[in-house]
Amino acid sequence: MQRKNSRPDSGRRQSDGVAEHFAAARWLEYLDNPGADDAMGSHMGGCEKCRGLLNSLIAVRTQLASDATCIRAAAAGPGEIEAILERCLSGIRTGSRKIWTAAEAMLLLSVLVEPICGRGAARRTISLARHRSTPPSETVLSGRNWPLFISNLSETMTSICGAAAGQLVRQAGFSMTLQEG
């Protein structure tokens, strides 16, 4: 267990001028687990101001937690969740999302990148990113190294053409699903 300072934290002062003897993090920790901080517990015994604050914070927390439980219970019933799940699984099974081959995905990315930085720069940038993303034994991109490839390409595009171009490449790249293997 972490050792606690037995003395109140010094220099804590609120904007409303009320002196505060412990940091916010320590208060929150104590509220969640009073037994873990003996020093703060013994301070509460002797400091009326802190004890008052503690009681009011406990009351707020209790009320918030109680309301939150009601909200969660009212928001969704089990039948409703099952209905959404069915729709979701149906969407997955119909396979509305296209699975791209690496060649198709690279071609699409080239079409996206060329107007931004020119054909030559686009080819070299994509080639560099592919080189950085595949181990020496492999030369072909797949679903496994696609995220790394996109991150590298996005990084290079950011350094050449700016953050917006890098972000565009990242979003386009991660929106595509590649064949595995």
125 neighbors 153 (Cβ within 8 angstroms): yes
**Which residue of 19, 36, 60, 140 would you call a contact of another protein, by CB under 8 A?**
60
| Site membership for another protein, residue 118 (CB under 8 A) | no
| Choices 40-48, 58-66, 105-113, 132-140 (CB under 8 A): range interacting with another protein | 58-66
Closest distance of CB 171 from another protein, Å: 11
| Site membership for another protein, residue 9 (CB under 8 A) | no
Q: How many CB atoms lie within 10 A of CB 90?
A: 10
Question: Which 133-172 residues touch another protein, going by CB under 8 A?
Answer: 143, 147
Site string for another protein, 14-53 (x = CB under 8 A): x---------xx-xx------------------------x
| Site membership for another protein, residue 75 (CB under 8 A) | yes
126 neighbors 153 (Cβ within 8 angstroms): yes
**Which residue of 5, 6, 177, 179 would you call a contact of another protein, by CB under 8 A?**
177
Name 140's Cβ contacts closer than 8 Å, sequence gap at least 6. Answer: 102, 134
Torsion over CA: 10, 12, 17, 18 (sign): negative
Which of 148, 175, 170 lies closest to 157 in space, CA to CA? 170
The alpha carbons of the chain give a radius of gyration, in whole angstroms, of: 28
Closest distance of CB 154 from another protein, Å: 13
**Which residue of 19, 36, 84, 107 would you call a contact of another protein, by CB under 8 A?**
84
The CA distance from 172 to 108, in Å, is 9
Which of 61, 70, 69 lies closest to 28 in space, CA to CA? 61
Q: Which residues contact another protein (rule: CB under 8 A)? A: 14, 24-25, 27-28, 53, 55-65, 67-68, 70-72, 74-76, 80-81, 83-85, 87-89, 91-92, 97, 143, 147, 174, 177
